[in-house]
Amino acid sequence: MKLTTAILMTGVSVASVGVTRIVQETRHQRERNESLAAGHQIEWLSRVSTNADLARVWAKEGMDIKAYQEHMSANRMFCQLSLRHRLGLVSDRMLPFFARALMENEACKKYWDQFGALREEEAEGDRKSEKFTEAMSLAAHAVA
């Protein structure tokens, strides 16, 4: 092999490693951003589900505050599981097990009955979210 060919191949190798690293860093940054945003949402859901004064501010007019807090508590559980699934901490294979466990909780079942269609619509176009909502819907029907 000629020296110029060896140098050229080394350059290509170094460039491909650099590109791979940039792609990987971009993916990790996206995961960090998702985790941070989800953490803020989960924190807010925790607050509104335990603080009646805050729940009064956010509940729809005429809605029972305790019912609203129950919905927000259930939503928090779905958000936590969704984040764990999105980050790969809950595999696609294990997702139905966790979905069933959530749907066996009456508050979660009520929440999904009322807002499941909205969550499915929200998930459209995002393969991971679609897989999550599909697992939740299947579990809701199985428990019903």
Cβ–Cβ < 8 Å for 89, 80: no
How much is the pLDDT for 28?
Answer: 84
CA distance 47 to 111: 18
50 pLDDT more than 90 = yes
Helix (H, G, I), strand (E, B), or coil: what is residue 90?
A: coil
Give the per-residue pLDDT at 74.
97
Residue 85's pLDDT band (cuts 50, 70, 90): very high
Q: Within its chain, how far is the Cα of 14 from the centroid?
A: 36
Angle between helices 65-86 and 3-50 (to 10 degrees): 160
Q: What is the mean pLDDT of residues 117-132?
A: 94
| Predicted pLDDT of residue 94 | 96
Q: What is the mean pLDDT of the chain?
A: 90
